Structure 1
């Protein structure tokens, strides 16, 4: 099980605009900052879709947290 405070910090790093959601573009950008320059928009969209329980094409913290605890 993940530590919720660490998860919040990580979520905030991915949520570049601070709106409380991670989009595919933000995911791709965060992955590039971490050294994964090969993450494509399509891959980022697939990652978000796999974790996005309400199908709004973005991750809330609750969805992010749930995905860490599967």
Structure 2
């Protein structure tokens, strides 16, 4: 089980504008900053979609936390 404080810190690295939602563009940019330049737009969209439980096109912290639990 992941530590929620570490998860919040990681989530904040993805959530560039601090609005509580991670968009595919934010995810792609964060992955590039963390050393993975191979995450393309379609890959980022697929990752966000796979974690987007309410189908709003973004990943909230709750959705991120839930994905870590599985």
The residue aligned with 2:6 is: 6
Q: Is 1:36 aligned to 2:48, yes or no? A: no
Counterpart Cα distance in 2 of 1:11 and 1:39: 17
TM-score normalised to structure 1 length: 0.98
Counterpart Cα distance in 1 of 2:9 and 2:39: 21
Counterpart Cα distance in 2 of 1:29 and 1:68: 21
RMSD: 0.4
Structure 1: gaps spanning 5 or more residues: none
Counterpart Cα distance in 2 of 1:13 and 1:47: 16
4+ runs deviating over 6 angstroms: none
The residue aligned with 1:17 is: 17
Aligned residues: 70
TM-score normalised to structure 2 length: 0.98
Structure 2: gaps spanning 5 or more residues: none
Counterpart Cα distance in 1 of 2:47 and 2:31: 12
Displacement of 1:38 in angstroms is 0.9
